[in-house]
Amino acid sequence: MALVRGKDTRPEMAVRRTIWRMGYRYRLHPNDVPGRPDIVFRAVRKAIFVHGCFWHRHVGCSRTRIPKTRIGFWTKKFAENVARDKAVRRDLSKIGWTVLVVWECASENPKRLETILRTFLRGEL
């Protein structure tokens, strides 16, 4: 697991490139925002998390599988990830932030990704 990247992943880079191409400017992984979102628009208090389908358990996605070895470990690990994600979104909402989760599989379709991002950011920046 040490080789799994937390920043600058392929899905995150796709999201960042799309947002930049759309003309929006942002901040990355700020320490002072709960949960350290991948992308932040401070002026309008919007945050984007780019989640891998495997690690964050995208419901209904074919990438959301459990490895065949150490099933107990993985089940616990995934449950903790999902619980942490939910708590971070709740905490951000409580302090007035709007949160979007972009899933890895959505980042692979450029038109779909742009539609998702445009809907989230529309007229707010």
Label residue 98 exposed, middle or buried (CB < 10 Å: 0-12, 13-18, 19+). Answer: middle
CA nearest neighbour of 38 among 59, 19, 12, 60: 12
The CATH number of domain 10-121 is 3.40.960.10: yes
Domain ranges of the chain: 10-121
pLDDT band at 125 (very low <50, low <70, confident <90, very high): very low
pLDDT tens-place string over residues 70-106 = 999 999 999 999 999 999 999 999 999 999 999 999 9
Cα separation, 121 vs 102, whole angstroms: 13
pLDDT at 18: 97
Q: At 39, is the secondary structure helix, strand, or coil?
A: strand
Task: Using the predicted structure, report yes or no on whether residue 1 has a pLDDT greater than 60.
Answer: no
Q: For residue 3, is pLDDT > 70? A: no
Are the C-beta atoms of 57 and 64 separated by less than 8 Å? yes
Mean pLDDT of all residues in the chain? 92
